[in-house]
């Protein structure tokens, strides 16, 4: 890492790909991004020689990556649910694990249902749902203006109809006057759930991501508690609440849901076999 030499001007694309300091996939992504070339073009133009400014730009990108900056922030996007999502340091990088949350939401949304994504970040969850199900009335909220700007751009990019709202969890909804009229079929959220001081916060990509989107600066459950406690005000009887959480929090989250009178409380496993999403159905009796 420390002995990386700058990419030399005049070398071929093939040689640049061979001599670049990252693994082959990351080398290809960064070179393709810098030169605005597809994967196929990288092959068909393999003998093309790098100009001085291209070599300098590539060297700068490789240095950023070697210092640990996530690829998604360097290239400005990450694929999620088959859609290219813009990402900036204002938002978390969407993870493949979170696609489970989208799949579960889509299975439970009735035709012309109404859904809310809390703490939307890049908008990945809300945009994926609205793009897949244009019949759904999708609203998404976040407390960060920077995040909302990114999310709105992602919705526009994919022609997804999402209403965005700046809100500290339910606060702005409480001010809208419909608190006594539950209207939502589904609430979905991937809130901050990492415990304060967790060693992972100082490792890997997490070092570069917005701290407030990762941890509640407490026991990791405070945002999840707020979401569960307020959900019955807005969910119709029979409506679902689905939340992503940490690898070891499923039991605690199920307990929160059960204490608030949710039925069919359960957890679902991600591709790694970890209980990653928990949720429940609002029983009529809890109104």
C-beta atoms surrounding 56 within 10 Å? 14
> CB–CB of 3/62 below 8 Å?
no
**Digit-coded pLDDT (tens) for 89-141:** 999 999 999 999 999 999 999 999 999 999 999 999 999 999 999 999 999 99
**Digit-coded pLDDT (tens) for 132-176:** 999 999 999 999 999 999 999 999 999 999 999 999 999 998 766
Give the pLDDT of residue 285.
52
> CB–CB of 285/276 below 8 Å?
no
**Distance in angstroms (rounded) separating the CA atoms of residues 278 and 257:** 9
DSSP code string of 80-129: ETTEEEE--TTSPPP-GGGHHHHHHHHHHPPTT-EEEEES-TTSHHHHHH
Task: Residue 97: name the closest of 268, 281, 279 by CA.
Answer: 268
The tokens for 25 are: 């996939």
Distance of CA 128 to the CA centre of its chain: 11
Return mean pLDDT, the chain. Answer: 92
Q: Would you tell me the crossing angle of helices 24-35 and 52-66 to the nearest 10 degrees? A: 140
- Show Cβ contacts of residue 20 under 8 Å, excluding neighbours closer than 6 positions: 7, 27, 30, 31, 58, 62
Task: Residue 214: name the closest of 230, 190, 231 by CA.
Answer: 190
Distance of CA 131 to the CA centre of its chain: 15
**Digit-coded pLDDT (tens) for 11-63:** 999 999 998 999 999 999 999 999 999 999 999 999 999 999 999 999 999 99
To the nearest 5 percent, what fractions of the chain are helix, strand and coil? 45, 20, 35
């Amino acid at each position: 890492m420390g002995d990386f030499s700058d990419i030399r001007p005049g070398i071929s694309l093939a040689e640049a790909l061979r001599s670049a300091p990252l693994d082959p996939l990351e080398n290809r992504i960064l070179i393709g991004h810098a030169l605005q070339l597809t994967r196929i073009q990288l092959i068909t133009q393999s003998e093309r020689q790098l100009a001085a400014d291209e070599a300098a730009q590539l060297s700068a990108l490789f240095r950023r990556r070697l210092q640990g900056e996530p690829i998604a922030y360097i290239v400005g996007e990450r694929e999620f649910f088959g859609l290219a999502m813009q990402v900036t340091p204002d938002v978390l990088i969407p993870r493949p694990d979170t696609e489970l949350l989208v799949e579960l939401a889509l299975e439970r949304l009735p035709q012309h249902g109404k859904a809310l994504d809390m703490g939307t970040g890049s908008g990945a969850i809300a945009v994926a749902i609205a793009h897949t199900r244009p019949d759904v009335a999708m609203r998404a909220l976040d407390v960060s203006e920077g995040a909302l700007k990114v999310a709105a751009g992602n919705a526009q990019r994919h022609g997804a109809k999402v209403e965005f709202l700046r809100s500290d969890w339910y606060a702005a909804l409480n001010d809208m006057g419909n608190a006594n009229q539950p209207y939502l079929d589904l609430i979905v959220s991937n809130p901050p759930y990492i415990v304060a001081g967790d060693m992972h916060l100082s490792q890997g990509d997490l070092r570069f991501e917005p701290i407030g989107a990762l941890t509640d600066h407490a026991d990791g459950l405070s945002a999840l508690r707020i979401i569960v406690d307020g959900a019955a005000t807005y969910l119709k009887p029979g409506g679902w609440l689905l939340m992503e959480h940490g690898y070891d929090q499923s039991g605690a989250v199920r307990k929160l849901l059960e204490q608030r009178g949710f039925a069919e409380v359960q957890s679902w496993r991600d591709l790694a076999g970890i209980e990653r999403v928990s949720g429940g159905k609002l029983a009529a009796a809890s109104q």
